[in-house]
Structure formats: structure tokens, C-alpha cells
Structure 1
Amino acid sequence: MIVLLVGIVAGQGLVIADEVSRTEVKTDDPALTDEQKKEYFELFKLFADTIDQVERNYVKPIDRRELVEAAIRGLTAELDPYSNYISPQEIDSFRSGIDSEFGGIGIQVTIERGRLTIISPLAGTPAYEAGLMAGDSIIEIEGESTDGISLDQAVRQMKGKVGTPVTITLQRARTGKRESFTLKRELIRIETVLGDTRDEQDRWKYLYDGTEKIGYIRITAFSRHTVRDLRKAFKELTSQGFRGLVLDLRYNPGGLLSSAVEVSDMFISSGVIVSTEGRNTKKRVWKAVRADTFQGFPMVVLVNEYSASASEIVAACLQDHGRAVVIGTRTWGKGSVQNVVELEDGKSALKLTTASYQRPSGKNIHRFYGATKEDQWGVHPDDGYVVELEDKEEEDYLKYRRSRDIVKGKAQPAADTENSSEQSREAVEETPVKSEVEDGQGEKNGDGSQEVSPVREDSNSEPSPDNDEEETVEETSNEQTEFQDRVLAKAFEYLREQIVEFVQK
């Protein structure tokens, strides 16, 4: 389950990134007594003296900044899994994760049989336009061999300033031919609103069942662009006359609070969406407005144990207002809000838990340390709609899902398609997967519980550089086509009944 946990345990959490520049940090509290101020002074003197002693007398020379940053990390480690220090080396990756944007060529990669392999190009990116395809191996980056390279190293080399070039050499999966490409990096935006499959132009199809007119939309994270893209998807569904909707939030680790609020507001016309309150922050309540509300159709929200934070806000809101039935398994249980405080004029930052949020019903969502299954936390599926998958079934679903997400890419020139009947190598095995945006995510995000905080881990497959065998498999093998998503099937069962009732009314 490495690939699955990668996105979750290091998930973004619920971030009020919009308030970064407006965050006020109290440095002088008039309520402090003279005795408390004296104690503060003594403690800071203790810290400064310790740093000084280590810097001057430790057996080996050590950089002062390393000491200070280590001290800050030690401080945040005493708080909760979601508060952490973001260093100058990590700040750009952190912002990329929040915005779902970065400078790159637009591919998802993995290490497969010791080779850096393309899982999928991202539609509309330089890699896609150049004809890079799923299964192609990247054997050189800027003239340097990728033998033994880690995913992090590869991602760092391919990412860069927008407008700058990067040269990569491929070995084609279908022909074995070597080709070099010099691609200009562009601003790559990671899609967070997805359908089930793509059409011939590699655009997402949101109408899952054309006969019964059931729409299907996956939200993989809540970014700045999620609401805009969701409205586009609804415009397409509306033009196709959809009659019911599945909103899939499984494996969604969270994102921006503002995005979760806006998504919720799209489906309810009045009432509380969510409220937040902290020790040093005023209580804030977000309420729905009637304008531009999507109504008049039955709706289902799919969740699982890896749906967390912002996705729990949406699921809880729609459930509490009776707007949607929640199907799947109990969610992760993260009900805290992190604020991003800029340090060093924006060169570094502190992601700090400053508040907790409450669902409209007032029920608790946060899973506190030591919480049991019997305690109240997370979002429970509606009665009669719990669908639990076995571990093997979940692994099969992830492989099936990833295989359907692969962008085939633009057709290669005739010289590259001599064996056009062959299929690309399978690139959906349970191996670590990265897109360029995922570089460094393990440090910047937190969306787990006290017991296990979801963290991105990278581990390479067993290297086998001498193994040149090209395994070819059908892209839609029997295992894939026969896989039955029982959670989705339950959603369709419910929607069919509700659509009939809507028609009768």
C-alpha cells in the first residue's frame, strides 16, 4: 500500500493559505506579568546559551542555521502531526503543493525494474505535445544517465523555472528506439477534478452512464482551481442532461479551506457549511448562499479511511443538510486547521495548527490521540451504506483506477509506430509513483492521525539494469475489465432508485 499512503499521510491537510500574508503574530502580550516576562527572558537565554555552547565546543563544526532549524523542528514535533517548519529549501515545493502548480514538462514517473519510467503524460503539457507516452523509459536527463537515480532526484532535475529548456532521452516502450527531446518548461497545473475515463482527445468524460444519465466526478484535492474546474464539469454534465451525481472523495487528503467551503456551497442553498474556532482566533462561520446552487438531482458522496480534512468538511456538510448520501467507510478524522505564517520575509514558513472546525450538526470530526472506534470522530457513511473493501480488493481497485487514468499521449510519427498493435508496458504495479509536483511533499503536508500521520515515502524497486525484457500486456486486461467497484455499484443502486422517485415527483 506504499503508493496509496504516499498521498495521504503527507496530504495537505486543511490549510488557510489565503491568509498567509495577513497572519498576525503576537510578540508582546500586555497581559503578561513581570514574573512571566522574566521567565520568558530566562528561557530564551537558556536556548541562546545552548546554541552557543554547541556551536563553539561540539566535537565537529556545525552550521548555526542547522542548529536553529533543528531546534524549531523539535519544537513543532511537540505540538501535533500537522504543525511543522518549512525551510527555505522546501518552501517552493510547499507552495507548488498548495497551488497545484509548478514549472516542469508534465509527466508522472516511477521506478520500474530499475528504470525511470513514464506512468503518464499530463494532457496539454510539453511532454504530451512532444509525444512522450506511458511506458517510455527516461534513460538520460541533460545528458546524464538515470541509472540508479531516485524519484526525488529525477523530479528535481525535470522541474525548473518556466521557459527554461530541459533535454531528456527516451527509450520507446513500443519500439525500443532511443530518442532525445528538448522541451521548454511550462507552468504545469495538476488536475484535481477528474472523471472516470478520457475521450479520444484525452479530455475527461464526466457522464459515467449515458443511458441512465449518471454523472461521476472525482476530486483528488482541494486547490485554488478546484471550484472553477468543477463548474466546468457541471456545465458539461448539464449539457448532457445528467440526472444523478456521484462525487468521489476517496483518497482525497484535503487542501484549502476556502476551496472546500466553495464546493459545499455549490450544492446547498442555505445554512451553515462549517465553522472554525481557536484559542487565539475568533469563531468564524461559513454559510451557504442561494445563488448558483446546483439542485434538482440526487447525489452521492464516496469516502474511505483516506478521505481527510477538507474532503471531510464537504462530506459532513452535504450529509448534515441531507443533500447527499455518504457511501463507503469512515473517514480519517482530521478536524484541525493549519495557518501558514511566513518567516524571514517569506523565505521560510511555519505551518501551525491554530483552530479546529465543527460540522453543521456540531458532531466532532477530529480523531484525538487515543481515540477508539467507539468514539465520535470522522464522517460515517449513512446507515445501510457502509461498504468495506478487503486489502486485496483495495489494491486491485488502485491498479484498475490508475490504469484508467493513464493518458495515452499523442500518436508518434510513423517511424515510431512500426509495432502499433503492441501495447505499452504495464506501469501500474504497486511501485512508488511521482509526478513532478510531488517532490518534497513528505515534509510539507500532514493529514494523518496522532497514531499514524500520512507521510510520503520513496522507495525504489529492486534495480535490474541488465534486464532489457519488455513485457507487454493488454491495457484493458481481463482483471481490469472484470473488476467491480462495490462502493460505486452501491452508489448507482441508490441513484437509480432516487432518479425514479424524482421522475415520479
Structure 2
Amino acid sequence: DEDKKADILEDAFIQKVIALAVEKGKELDAEGRWVDAYTRVFYWLVNLDADNKEYKDYADELSEKALVEISLKDDSCGQSSIERHEGIKAEMVFRALRALETNYVNVVDYNEMAEKGLARCRLLGEVLTQTKKKLDYTVSADKVEKWLMGIRAIKEELAASSTAITNEKFRMIFGEILALNSIALEIPEEVVIAQFAEASFNGLDPYTTLVWPWQVKDFQKNMTQQFIGIGVEISKATGTLKVVSLLPDTPAYTSGLDADDEILAVDGESTEDMTITCAVSKITGPRHTKVTLTIRHADSDKTSDITIVRDRIVVPPLRGWQRADDGRWRYTIDPDNGVGYIRITGFTETTASDMEKILSELEDQGLKGLILDLRFNSGGYLISAAEVVDMFVEKGMIVKSQPRTGFPTRENAHKQGTHPNYPLVVLINGQSASASEIVAGALQDEKFKRATLVGTQTYGKGSVQVVTPYTGGDSQLKYTMAYYHLPSGRRVKNRYKMEKAGRKDWGIKPDIEVELNMNELRKMIDVQRANEVLAKADHDADKPLKRHSLQETLLADKQLAVALLAVKSKMIQAGRMVKFIEDRDASMTKKVAATR
């Protein structure tokens, strides 16, 4: 309740506590403890008072300082900052600016870019003097002060001018920054290029960025969901590196590794102080090469070495609600009523074809209704999203991409291959973004009204990005080139723009809103993970994996419970007989009632 919240924030005692918290946060900031200042103070203040711009700006600056610090020191695998920045050149930035001038979705705001870039340069100087961590660069306080004075002089010159910054002027500012570094900080030019470019491009929007040579490999892996490795999901949530699950048809599945194994070493190197990022980089590697893991099985004191040959791993983009013991997904969530469930984790090149196979199998088994789960799906390829929508609608525009110049691009539905008009419910939440919003928005759109959306408001990306190697030198430019529009012509509002305008009406809103608090979310994720764990091919039958029944799963995930009830309601409206199991559905109904 916003009124109650306002009353609480105006309470004298609460205001005193907040003032003390702010004071403590600023002390931690001054001590160079930016992560502590963020996680202990300003993260909570932003959540307590989301409309307070001062808290948000301070929190954002703390996050930036922490990121700058990370970029200036060795990573957890021992790779130095100098090594990571190798190959970065000013020409990459100039090429990116040429591409953006012509192809960016809006007229490029060089004023905003310059402001963000100069602000990052100031933070770079502050981090170099305030950090308590060992950096790869040592710069005296006098040199940093000379740097900061130069930054202030550039800002004052810009403030005194009444004309907008042009492309040419922005390039001059960039050149001045590099020249200033050569006489002030004297750190490698590549570092300054990276800091200025990353911040200034982020001033356009959060999705426009230069992907530096050392980042390209991971960037491509995230986009394609393909990489060279062994096929294992790992975690260090409890402080120990553990196997969470295996992927079927991968080297790990038949290697002897098992779910819940501890990984004590990788090629003889202890994992005790190794981060997840470092562990992943050491376990992955060139195809057909070997990696040796020293492991300890759960409930055993003995250790053993398992050597696995790396191969190409393709992460399947589709999941069911639970795995069977043989590793196959269960896609039927309610056998009595013929209700299917498909969770899409990403829109890759194979999403549509994989989904076509699953739908055909479900329909052969008597599918009467379907739940599509897009929660936590951050997106993927636009064409893949359009292909998924095309399965459920016969004709008409699915999505339109509208660039700043030139003709729009449309993806249209085709009657051939359209699946039956059974009840369809789509689950969404605040992490459903990009391609997920296209699917959810198109299926909900008034032109089709094909699906009911359950959950919470989506992320609100509302834009289309493309990737080009035009910047050269093994770098890539990812930039926003268009906004997308739903079948009725409605544009999906962009979160970044709405927040700048002080609004919250971004993304796609559900037809049935069901929120989860932090405890409910944690429980839902725990149950979901338990249901999807895959053990080794010859897993010990005396140590069965923990699986949750449908009733337990629905009690832990009220969004899914509501989605299932929504499907059943639509089936009843269509004149179908629906079976209700009293003990299960009664408890579900109570949960649903509690959300309304």
C-alpha cells in the first residue's frame, strides 16, 4: 500500500535510521568499499524508496566504481587487466560512431554520451586513489589530481557552450581524454578507451555497447547457447564447487560425474578459492582436449580423478516441468486433463524446431491445453520468437521492427503449420525480456487474443539490437537499431525511456497478476531446480534424486498454480469436461484466493 509506505517513510524514527544508514554508506564509499556500501545500504534504500532519485543515482555510481575496480585488477583466473585490454584501439570507437550516426534507432545524443563518458573518467580517477585492492596500475595522488582537474576543465568548457555536441565535437572530446591520460595518469591507453567508450555508449541505452576482443567468445556463447565444454551445470552457492546437474548426451553424462559431486580441483588446481567464472573458463576449452576433475561423491570421503574429453555442447532451449529418472523431460503437467507445459529458456536457432517436435508429441497424446513458461527468459533471436508465435496464429503481422530511417521489417504468420486452438496460458515475470516480450505480447494482443498472460509485468526492453563486426580488430558493436510493435501496432514501451520520464508503464502487463515475495520466489526456484536435476547415466538406485510431486510443485509456485487453473477455466468455457482432484485442487484454490 503506497499510502502506508509514505506514512512509514515520514516517521521520525524511520527517517533517523535512514539518515544513519546513508551516513554509513557514504563512509564505506570513502573507504573504497563500494560493494559493501551498495549491498549493505543503498540497495536497500532504493528498494525502500524507489522514487528517490538521490538513492538510485548513488547506488548506480557505487556499482560503476565496483565495475571500474574489477576492470583494473587481475581476474579470478589470474588474467591481468593489461592482458584483457590487449587489442583495444581508438579506431574501434570511431568506427562505432560512424555506424551509430547512420543506423542507431534515434538521433544520437552526443551530449548524453559525453556526460556519461566524462563521469566515468572521474570515477576512474577516484577508484585509482581510493581502492584498497591491488590494481595492475599504480598512479600517484598528484597524477590523479591532474587527471581530475583536466576532466573538470573539459566539463566546464562544455557547460559554457550553448551549442549541442556534434559527432565531430564528441570525437574531439575523446581525443582530449586520451591526450590527458598521456600526461596525467599515464596508464595504458586501451584502459581509458574502454572506460570512456563503455560509459558513453551506455548513455544511449543499456543495450548499445562495444564488445571488446576478449569478450566476444562469451558474448557469442550467450547468444547461441553453444560452447565447447563437458556438459555440466555447477554452483558455489554453499562455498564449495558442486555439480548441480548434467546435460544429456554430453561427455559429462557418461563420465562418472554425478549430481551433488564436489569438484575439489580442475587439472590439479584447487577450487577452494576459485570463482564460478574462473571454474567455467578452466573446465571449458578447445574441442577434443582433456580436462581432469578431482571429485568427491556425496556421502563419501574418498576422492577420485575423472578425465573428460571436451566437445561441443548445445544447451537445449526447452524444458518440461520435471525430469524423469532417465533424463527425459515430462512435458505433460496434468495428465488427467491433457495439459502440457513447456518452459522456454532462450530463443535460439533451434527453439522453434524443438518446440514443433514437442507439440506434435503432446498433440498425439491428446493435448487439450498448454502452459508456456517465459519467466526468467531474457530473450534471443527475434526471428525465433516470431516462429514460436506463428505456431499459434494463422495470419497477420506478428511483429514489426521500425528503424529510424528506411522501411520497417515485418514478420507475418502463416496458416500452414498452425496448431489447434486449444487454451493457451503464458507465464511471465520481470525477467521476461526482448524476444519473450514479443511472444507474450503478440499472443495477448487484441488482434489475436490467443493467450492469457499470468504473472507479473515484463522487463520492458521494447527494442531490437543487431551485432556487427564493422568495428574491426576482432571487436563487435551491438546497438539498438529499431523499436518493435505488436500485431495491433502498439509499441512495447522501453523501460529505460519510461524510467527517465518517471513512469512505470513499460513492457507487457499480465491479464492475471500474481506476485511472489522473496521467500516464495526462493522456494519456487528451489523446487524447480530439484525437479530438473539430471544425475549420471548409471546413478545409484539406492540414492534416488529428490523430485517434487505436482501438488508440491504447485504449492511452491503459485504463479504456475494459477496458470493451470486458468487453462482449466478456459477448457470449461470451451465446453470440455475437466477433472478436479479434491485434495490437490482445493489447496491450489486456497493459494489462488490468497493472491487476489
- Name the TM-score, length of structure 2 as normaliser: 0.65
1:335 matched to 2:462? The reply is yes
Q: How many residues align?
A: 418
1:433 matched to which residue of 2?
none
**Which amino acid counterpart does residue 260 of structure 1 have in structure 2?**
A
- Map 1:256-335; keep pairs closer than 5 Å: 256-320=381-445, 321-335=448-462
Q: CA deviation at 1:40?
A: 5.2
Question: CA deviation digits over 1:217-238, x for unaligned, max 9?
Answer: 0001111111121112112212
Ranges of 4+ aligned residues in structure 1 off by more than 6 Å: 26-29, 371-374
Aligned equivalent of 2:215, options 84, 90, 107: 90
Question: CA deviation digits over 1:257-276, x for unaligned, max 9?
Answer: 11111111111111111111
Aligned equivalent of 2:510, options 381, 387, 401: 381
> For the Cα contact (< 8 Å) 2:371–2:425, is it kept in 1?
yes
Aligned equivalent of 2:561, options 480, 486, 489: 489
> For the Cα contact (< 8 Å) 1:307–1:332, is it kept in 2?
yes
2:570 matched to which residue of 1?
498
Distance 2:431 2:102 in 1: 41
Distance 1:69 1:372 in 2: 29
> For the Cα contact (< 8 Å) 1:224–1:256, is it kept in 2?
yes
**Which amino acid counterpart does residue 474 of structure 2 have in structure 1?**
K
- Map 1:421-500; keep pairs closer than 5 Å: 421-422=542-543, 476=548, 483-500=555-572
- CA RMSD across the alignment: 2.9
Instruction: Classify 1:107/1:504 alpha carbon distance in 2 versus 1 (closer, same or farther; 3 Å).
Output: closer
Task: Classify the secondary structure of the residue corresponding to 1:370.
Answer: helix
* Structure 2: runs of 5+ lacking an equivalent: 1-38, 40-97, 104-162, 578-596
> For the Cα contact (< 8 Å) 1:297–1:502, is it kept in 2?
no
Distance 1:312 1:42 in 2: 38
Task: Classify the secondary structure of the residue corresponding to 1:489.
Answer: helix
**Which amino acid counterpart does residue 394 of structure 1 have in structure 2?**
L
Task: Classify the secondary structure of the residue corresponding to 1:237.
Answer: helix
Question: CA deviation digits over 1:460-489, x for unaligned, max 9?
Answer: xxxxxxxxxxxxxx6659995683422222
1:243 matched to 2:358? The reply is no
Comparing 358-367 and 311-320, the one that deviates more: 358-367
Comparing 367-376 and 160-169, the one that deviates more: 367-376
Comparing 343-352 and 167-176, the one that deviates more: 343-352
2:48 matched to which residue of 1?
none
Instruction: Classify 1:411/1:44 alpha carbon distance in 2 versus 1 (closer, same or farther; 3 Å).
Output: same
> For the Cα contact (< 8 Å) 1:364–1:376, is it kept in 2?
no
Q: CA deviation at 1:493?
A: 1.9
1:21 matched to which residue of 2?
none
1:365 matched to which residue of 2?
492
Question: CA deviation digits over 1:239-272, x for unaligned, max 9?
Answer: 2111111111111111111111111111111111
Task: Classify the secondary structure of the residue corresponding to 2:513.
Answer: coil
Comparing 485-494 and 38-47, the one that deviates more: 38-47
Aligned equivalent of 2:184, options 49, 58, 74: 58
Instruction: Classify 1:88/1:388 alpha carbon distance in 2 versus 1 (closer, same or farther; 3 Å).
Output: same
Task: Classify the secondary structure of the residue corresponding to 1:255.
Answer: coil
Aligned equivalent of 2:482, options 311, 336, 355: 355
> For the Cα contact (< 8 Å) 1:174–1:422, is it kept in 2?
no
1:404 matched to which residue of 2?
531
Distance 1:119 1:183 in 2: 17
* Structure 1: runs of 5+ lacking an equivalent: 3-23, 30-35, 425-473
Q: CA deviation at 1:370?
A: 2.9
Distance 1:80 1:93 in 2: 21
Instruction: Classify 1:241/1:370 alpha carbon distance in 2 versus 1 (closer, same or farther; 3 Å).
Output: same
Distance 1:318 1:26 in 2: 33
Question: CA deviation digits over 1:400-441, x for unaligned, max 9?
Answer: 1111111122225xxxx5xx64567xxxxxxxxxxxxxxxxx
- Map 1:59-78; keep pairs closer than 5 Å: 59-60=185-186, 62-78=187-203
Distance 1:43 1:111 in 2: 44
Q: CA deviation at 1:28?
A: 9.1
Q: CA deviation at 1:346?
A: 6.5
**Which amino acid counterpart does residue 325 of structure 2 have in structure 1?**
E
1:8 matched to which residue of 2?
none
Instruction: Classify 1:26/1:88 alpha carbon distance in 2 versus 1 (closer, same or farther; 3 Å).
Output: closer
Distance 1:148 1:493 in 2: 47
1:125 matched to which residue of 2?
250
**Which amino acid counterpart does residue 386 of structure 2 have in structure 1?**
V
**Which amino acid counterpart does residue 426 of structure 2 have in structure 1?**
V
Instruction: Classify 1:234/1:43 alpha carbon distance in 2 versus 1 (closer, same or farther; 3 Å).
Output: closer
**Which amino acid counterpart does residue 190 of structure 1 have in structure 2?**
V
Aligned equivalent of 2:518, options 391, 411, 414: 391
Q: CA deviation at 1:164?
A: 1.2
Distance 1:287 1:127 in 2: 41
Distance 1:484 1:74 in 2: 41
Question: CA deviation digits over 1:357-416, x for unaligned, max 9?
Answer: 11122334222243789764321222xx2222222111111111111111122225xxxx
Higher helix share: 2
> For the Cα contact (< 8 Å) 2:256–2:306, is it kept in 1?
no
Distance 2:379 2:527 in 1: 23
Instruction: Classify 1:334/1:45 alpha carbon distance in 2 versus 1 (closer, same or farther; 3 Å).
Output: closer
1:160 matched to which residue of 2?
285
> For the Cα contact (< 8 Å) 1:280–1:354, is it kept in 2?
no
> For the Cα contact (< 8 Å) 2:386–2:439, is it kept in 1?
yes
Instruction: Classify 1:404/1:39 alpha carbon distance in 2 versus 1 (closer, same or farther; 3 Å).
Output: closer
Distance 2:449 2:554 in 1: 34
> For the Cα contact (< 8 Å) 2:230–2:251, is it kept in 1?
yes
> For the Cα contact (< 8 Å) 2:267–2:293, is it kept in 1?
yes
**Which amino acid counterpart does residue 499 of structure 2 have in structure 1?**
G
1:229 matched to 2:301? The reply is no
Q: Greater RCO between the two (CA within 8 Å, min separation 6)?
A: 1
Distance 2:473 2:347 in 1: 23
> For the Cα contact (< 8 Å) 1:341–1:349, is it kept in 2?
yes
Question: CA deviation digits over 1:315-339, x for unaligned, max 9?
Answer: 1111111111111222121101111
Distance 1:39 1:246 in 2: 50
Between the aligned residues of both structures, percent identity stands at: 33
